[in-house]
Structure 1
Amino acid sequence: MTVPAPVQRKVSTRQGFLAVKDYPGLGIPFVLLHGFPDDSTIYNKLASELQPRRVITFDFLGYGQSERSQTTPVTEGQRLSETEAVIDQLELDQVTIVGHDAGGPVAVEYAVAHPDRVARMMLLNCYFGDSPTLRFPEMIRLLGDPHLVPLADALMRDPAQRQWLLEYTAQQFGYEATADIREKAIIPQFFGSASQPDALDAIRSWTGRLLDDVAVTNDVVASGRLASLQVPVDIAFGVNDPYLNTGVAEHLAGLFPDSQMHPIDARHWVQWDDPQAVARILLRND
């Protein structure tokens, strides 16, 4: 099948523009949210597998091809407002929303805020609230700990130390040094590329909210709003992820009244490792 080239769009927000890829197609659109420290490139393979459906991916502010002019830290609810801006400005009545990693909580927050506009939700190797087996990667914990800001900043400023942290983290996730997901979606965020500067400020800003964001999600769980959310939820996890693992998937499944678990023999970036399996789940009711 020939995959049509996406239409490149820009969506405006108060902090700057978002770079959007809009793959033309039929049916309720899929809106795919990335986490950190990558960008929407993580969905390139999945977008191809979802044809001829309409697929929309975008880079959160500071990442990928989106604007980097924001000088203030990421605030509570900002990623949700960016997602709302994309869906509203593209005039999408209903969506199937997909969230991976730190994009998972954003997808859940959107479904809670706009349940009438979410036909389905899929969560890929992400988290929402604390769970007994949840582990954040050591590098992410370092960047998210407010007590270690001077150390984290010093390490990020040193290219050699930055590279060492990336190599260590890749090994922990089970990805080889030459893995294409790293070269295409992660290295450009840390070192820039011919088409974009690095996203270090955005990485530091979003990861710096990690503990606060987990506390926010704990409050949402405690409020009971997820237990009354009438949105079908697919939880598709790569079972070889040592951090956002199957125990986390089981925890997520218990938060929603209409959820199904789909274990996949893949690692953290399940949509890159096995896009066909993820696409089959998303398309199974078509």
Structure 2
Amino acid sequence: MSDSTGLAKVVSTPFGDLAVRDYPGDGNPFVLLHGFPDDSKIYDRLVPELSGHRVVTFDFAGYGQSEHRADADVEEGQRVAETAAVVDQLGLEHVTVVGHDAGGPVAVEYAAVNADRVSRLGLLNCYFGSSPTLRFPEMIRLLAEPNLVELADAFIADPRPRKWLLEHTARRFGYSATEEIREKSIIPQFFGSENQRDSLTAIRAWTGRLLEDVELTNNVISSGALSSITCPVDIAFGVNDPYLNSGVADHLANLFVNSRRHSIAARHWVQWDEPRQVAEALTRNP
């Protein structure tokens, strides 16, 4: 099926079938990765700004239109393996991998072990390792804290506190309750919709790994493995994000030998707020 939303494809992985959108174009393809509270629709405004380039978006297992399994535990390295499956099964070469939020560490780790296939790396309001100004939203911190599992499960199981948590988080990020990005990409993960099941199991599984994954990325940094990433690294951050903030962007810029910082007057979903500026940052000549 092909329309203005791209060609719908399915990529098989051991973790479930992934729903992929492949937008035709020339040159090195873009592969866009989402984070934990949303799905690939966070890129709906960016894709048209990359018109002329081949662009691939997909939902990680358990999210959006991808397969939802009851046993949705997330293994170490799973999201990198899912990304590799998309790149391999679509036969992509010399890709620009872009990660937002929790998709950022996935993009970095994919690039570190596939440096010969990555021509450019884009990091949008994300993190990699610990940094002095890094803060996680209260809802994400609750879901990540191993000593608060019962409390987190109780909040998520009851629709009323679940809704309150989402609205509190939106306000903290500076988004109103009726913002389109919430309606399209975030609320369906927590409550489902006519077209998809909720992603609560997957959200709990991935956020439950957060603190462990941050330590793993600290180990990647200390091992020197990031030295393999010599391609251009564009770090485009919305400066009005109180959590994954400009200090985090500075930390990221210092991790790579060929990084460039782009400060954009936007909030957390910078690619939604200012898609043209993000596209310009990601396509600017090295």
Normalising by structure 2, we get a TM-score of: 0.97
Deviates more, 1:236-245 or 1:62-71: 62-71
How many corresponding residue pairs?
A: 284
Task: Supply the distance in 1 between the matched residues of 2:245 and 2:194 (Cα, whole angstroms).
Answer: 35
Query: 1:248 aligns to what?
Result: 248
Identity of aligned residues (%): 66
Query: 2:63 aligns to what?
Result: 63
State the 1:227 CA deviation.
Answer: 3.4
Structure 1 unaligned segments of length 5 or more: list them. none
Query: 1:78 aligns to what?
Result: 78
Q: Assess if the C-alpha contact under 8 Å between 1:4 and 1:24 holds in 2.
A: no
Q: Assess if the C-alpha contact under 8 Å between 1:15 and 1:70 holds in 2.
A: no
Task: Supply the distance in 1 between the matched residues of 2:22 and 2:132 (Cα, whole angstroms).
Answer: 38
Structure 2 residue identity aligned to 1:190: F
Task: Classify the secondary structure of the residue corresponding to 1:226.
Answer: helix
Query: 2:231 aligns to what?
Result: 231
Task: Supply the distance in 2 between the matched residues of 1:228 and 1:54 (Cα, whole angstroms).
Answer: 25
Q: Assess if the C-alpha contact under 8 Å between 2:62 and 2:69 holds in 1.
A: yes
Task: Supply the distance in 2 between the matched residues of 1:158 and 1:214 (Cα, whole angstroms).
Answer: 29
Task: Supply the distance in 2 between the matched residues of 1:236 and 1:283 (Cα, whole angstroms).
Answer: 12
State the 1:4 CA deviation.
Answer: 4.1
Query: 1:24 aligns to what?
Result: 24
State the 1:72 CA deviation.
Answer: 4.5
Query: 1:166 aligns to what?
Result: 166
Task: Classify the secondary structure of the residue corresponding to 2:225.
Answer: coil
Structure 2 residue identity aligned to 1:177: A
Task: Supply the distance in 1 between the matched residues of 2:90 and 2:128 (Cα, whole angstroms).
Answer: 27
Task: Supply the distance in 2 between the matched residues of 1:72 and 1:60 (Cα, whole angstroms).
Answer: 11
Normalising by structure 1, we get a TM-score of: 0.97
Structure 1 residue identity aligned to 2:230: Q
The alignment's C-alpha RMSD in Å is: 1.1
Query: 2:205 aligns to what?
Result: 205
State the 1:102 CA deviation.
Answer: 0.2
Structure 2 residue identity aligned to 1:210: L
Task: Classify the secondary structure of the residue corresponding to 2:176.
Answer: coil
Cα deviation 1:29-79 (Å, max 9, x = unaligned): 000000010000000110011001110000000000000025141010000
